[in-house]
């Protein structure tokens, strides 16, 4: 039961990271209350990755790295 709940939470988190990354490209979305809450949830996970790997050529790879890490954690928990 617990592994299924963790799998679901990780999958939801992956979707939220993806939405956060896409929404960051649109100024009108960044000004919404939904994005404000989403940013408060996702940004603490992205900040350590940004300190390790700063944006390269203006491209922030931290959401992709976070999604990769979440997928690896999900796969490890599935064993």
Alpha-carbon gap, residue 65 to 49, rounded angstroms:
8
More confident site: 66 or 79: 66
Does 79 have pLDDT greater than 90? no
Q: Residue 10's pLDDT is what?
A: 98
pLDDT digits (tens, 9 = 90+) for 7-66: 999 999 999 999 999 999 999 999 999 999 999 999 999 999 999 998 888 899 999 999
Say if residue 2's pLDDT is above 90: no
Q: Cα–Cα distance between 47 and 7 in angstroms, integer?
A: 23
pTM for the model stands at 0.91
């Amino acid at each position: 039961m617990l592994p299924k709940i963790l799998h679901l939470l990780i999958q939801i988190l992956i979707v939220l990271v993806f939405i956060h990354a896409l929404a960051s490209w649109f100024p009108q979305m960044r000004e919404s209350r939904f994005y404000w809450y989403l940013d408060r949830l996702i940004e603490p996970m992205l900040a350590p990755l940004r300190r390790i790997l700063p944006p390269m050529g203006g491209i922030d790879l931290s959401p992709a790295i976070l999604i990769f890490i979440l997928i690896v954690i999900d796969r490890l928990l599935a064993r």
